[in-house]
Structure 1
Amino acid sequence: MEQTPHPAPEEGAIQVLLVEDDERLARLTARYLQEHGVVVTVTHTGTDALSEAGRHGFDVILLDLMLPGRDGLEVCRELRTRTDVPIIMVTARGEEADRVLGLETGADDYLPKPYSSRELLARIRAQVRRARGKAGPALQPVQVGRLMLDPRSLRATLDGKPLNLTTYEFGLLRVLAERAGRVLSREQLLDLVKGSAEEVFDRSVDVHIFRLRQKLEADPRNPSLLKTVRGVGYMLAVGEGA
Structure 2
Amino acid sequence: MSKAKILLVEDNEMLSASIAEYLEMEGYIVTVEANGIIAQQRILNEQPDLVILDLMLPGRDGVSICRQVRDQFDGFILMFTAKEDEIDQIIGLEIGADDYLVKPVKPRLLLAKINSFLRRKDLVIEQDDEMVRHGQLCIDKQRRQVTYKGLTIDITAAEYEALLLLAQHSGEILSREFMAQHLKGLEYDGLERSTDNRISQLRKKLNDNARSPEKIKTIRSKGYLFVASAWG
Please say whether Structure 1 and Structure 2 have the same fold, judged by a TM-score greater than 0.5: yes
Between Structure 1 and Structure 2, the one with more helix by share is 2
> Which of 2, 6, 15 lines up with 1:16 in the alignment?
6
Using the size of structure 1 for normalisation, the TM-score is: 0.56
In structure 2, do the counterparts of structure 1 residues 138 and 84 end up closer, same or farther at CA, with 3 Å as the change threshold?
closer
Residues 1:72 and 2:110 are matched in the alignment: no
Kindly tell me: are residues 12 and 100 of structure 1, through their superposed partners in 2, closer, same or farther at Cα, counting changes over 3 Å? same
Distance 1:88 1:100 in 2: 13
Match of 2:89 in 1: 99
Query: What CA distance in whole angstroms lies between the structure 1 residues aligned with 2:94 and 2:56?
Result: 17
Which has the larger displacement, 23-32 or 53-62?
53-62
Shifted more, 15-24 versus 75-84: the winner is: 75-84
* CA offset digits 1:59-112 (Å, max 9, x no partner): 100000011121001111111132121100111123221111001111011111
Q: Are residues 1:90 and 2:77 paired?
A: no
Matched, 1:123 2:118: no
2:118 alignment partner AA: V
CA separation of 1:154 and 1:121: change in aligned 2, threshold 3 A: farther
- State the alpha-carbon separation in 2 of the partners of residues 68 and 138 from structure 1: 39
- State which structure, 1 or 2, has the greater radius of gyration over its C-alpha atoms: 2
Cα RMSD (Å) of the superposition?
3.6
Distance (Å, rounded) in 1 between the aligned partners of 2:200 and 2:40: 24
Equivalent residues, number: 163
Query: Structure 1 residue aligned with 2:199, among 155, 161, 164?
Result: 161
* Secondary structure of 2:83 counterpart: coil
Structure 2 vs 1, CA of residues 26 and 144 (structure 1 numbering), >3 Å: closer, same or farther? same
TM-score normalised to structure 2 length? 0.58
Q: Which runs of 5+ in 1 are unaligned?
A: 1-10, 166-172, 181-208, 217-242
- Partner Cα separation in structure 1 for residue 196 and residue 153 of structure 2: 10
Contact kept, 8 Å, 1:133 with 1:154, in 2: the verdict is no
Unpaired runs of at least 5, structure 2: 126-133, 139-146, 171-194, 214-232
Distance 2:22 2:7 in 1: 14
Does the 8 Å contact 2:47/2:73 carry over to 1? no
Partner of 1:201: none
Conserved in 1, the CA contact under 8 Å of 2:44 and 2:69?
no
Q: Secondary structure at the match of 1:37?
A: coil
Deviation, 1:54, is 2.9
1:165-200 residue CA offsets vs partner (Å, 9 max, x unmatched): 9xxxxxxx9xxx6xx9xxxxxxxxxxxxxxxxxxxx
| 2: CA distance, partners of 1:154 / 1:119 | 33
Identity %: 36
Q: Does 1:214 align with 2:204?
A: no
Distance 1:53 1:137 in 2: 24
